Amino acid sequence: MVSPYATFLLVCFLDLISVSFIVPYLDIHAKELGFNYVQIGLVWAVYPLCQIVSSPVIGSLGDVTSRKQVLLTCVIICSCAYFCLGVVSSLYVFLSLRIVLGIFKQTQILTRALAPEYIHEPNKVFILYGKLLSLGSFGQTLGSFISKYPIETYPRYGFTFMCVILSIFFGVNAALINSLPETKTREEKKEETSDTSLRKTSLLASAVTTIKHTYYTLYNINWLNLWDILLFKLLMSISTGLYYNNFRIYLKNRYDLSNVSIVCILLFEAIISSIVNNSVAFINKLYINDRDYSQRVFHTFLGIVLTLVALGMVSSLPLYVLLLVPKAVSFALARIVTLAVVMSRSAPSNRGTLIGALYSASSLAYIITPIIGGLIIEYLSISYMYFVASLFAATGLVISQMRIRFVKEMIK
């Protein structure tokens, strides 16, 4: 039997590698189906729009019911939806499936919320999160590489084939999640003793009660206590998104690199990120007194600002590649630190909700970033992309420094 720790690693890896089979080539398939550019834009936009709303809601639903069962249900629904995505040709059905996926594709959120139920030491949980990020980066790169030949060579049937494989991978994930032993949180034990009548009610009444509990969980969270980290996540996501969305174009225009060379650079970055993500325990030892993660947030923003400015200024390719090391370190830390801050401020009863809110900020950035990037390319040039990205990170840097000073004054 696979241990829960290994199960979480495998589930997240299979989730991201399989989704990467088709996501980078979604526009190619949409063109093959005869969609125009506006329709292709809608296909891309509906997913993050749904994620903005659904991420905290699904996370909250897991908090008030069973995270394992909610995760299992979402994975099964997504498995069916991805299979259908590969065989349909109607725009409306295609959009509907993207909406379904935007609502229920919450594997990463629910897995992170579920993990502490099986891994009780906080330090081990953060180490797991680092490994999940590491495997995720590797899986995304590997997935797009694996599906490149069949989809580009056979655009119509290659996409369908990869959707079938993706659906099978999600089926495997469903089996892995189902194999996890049942756990009972403290809140669930209280409910069993103090609210046994709930189990005797009708299915409709239970559904209404669950919806009410989900609403109350969302409503009762002190969102003002989280404004800073949600804003930091948004700024970090926009900054890193501007980099990754225009990475290939920038390298081709600036250094005239081939696709193979760009893939090699991506793999190099993935290796560096993997090393950082697997060094969470060591990094935490460097910040023993940083209990609220404020110093780590500040240093992360500082690293992003400096490396993006440097990358935008250098003209030598070897120096550019060398600067990718601190860039990869900063970007990896950004993902780890923001998640760690949310976990430190959450209670077991609302963990999924807050992680979902964090992912909502990322989804919002996913919508905003292409618009900003398009404006930069249209009215400035691609060479300004890194400098604009650094401005968003610099905003976070200033706010994080102000917050550090505010906390120090409050302590005094």
Break the chain into its structural domains and give their ranges.
1-180, 221-412
Q: What pTM was computed for the model?
A: 0.82
- Quick check: 81 and 332 in contact, CB under 8 A? no
CATH class of the region 1-180: mainly alpha
> Cα(first)–Cα(last) distance of the chain, in Å?
53
Closest to 281 (Cα-Cα) out of 55, 127, 112, 91: 127
Which residues, 6+ apart, have CB-to-CB distance to 31 below 8 Å?
40, 155
Pick the CATH number of 221-412 from 1.10.3720.10, 1.20.1250.20, 3.40.50.20, 1.10.10.60: 1.20.1250.20
Both structure tokens of 140? 């995304």
- Quick check: 301 and 400 in contact, CB under 8 A? yes
Could you please report the per-residue DSSP string of 13-53? HHHHHHHTTTGGGHHHHHHHTT--HHHHHHHHHHHHHHHHH
Helix or strand holding residue 243 (H, E): helix 227-245
**HSE-CB for 151 with a 13 A CA cutoff:** 26
Give the Cα separation of 410 and 345 in Å (integer).
18
Mean pLDDT of the chain: 85
pLDDT < 70 regions, the chain: 1, 184-210, 215-217, 407-408, 410-412
Rounded to the nearest angstrom, the gap between the alpha carbon of residue 126 and the centroid of all alpha carbons in its chain is 16
- Quick check: 170 and 71 in contact, CB under 8 A? no
- Quick check: 108 and 15 in contact, CB under 8 A? yes
Give the Cα separation of 11 and 16 in Å (integer).
9
- Quick check: 11 and 323 in contact, CB under 8 A? no
| pLDDT at residue 184, as a whole number | 61
Tell me whether the CATH fold assigned to 1-180 matches the one assigned to 221-412. Answer: yes
DSSP tag of 181: P
CB neighbours of residue 39 within 10 Å = 16
Both structure tokens of 58? 């699904």
Give the Cα separation of 404 and 407 in Å (integer).
5
Distances (CA, A) of 302 to 40, 91, 133, 240, 272: 37, 44, 21, 13, 18
Give the Cα separation of 52 and 63 in Å (integer).
18
Give the Cα separation of 296 and 339 in Å (integer).
12
Give the Cα separation of 76 and 105 in Å (integer).
10
Both structure tokens of 332? 């990896």
Rounded to the nearest angstrom, the gap between the alpha carbon of residue 371 and the centroid of all alpha carbons in its chain is 20
- Quick check: 285 and 333 in contact, CB under 8 A? no
What are 292-301's pLDDT values in tens digits? 888 889 999 9
What are 337-351's pLDDT values in tens digits? 888 888 888 877 788
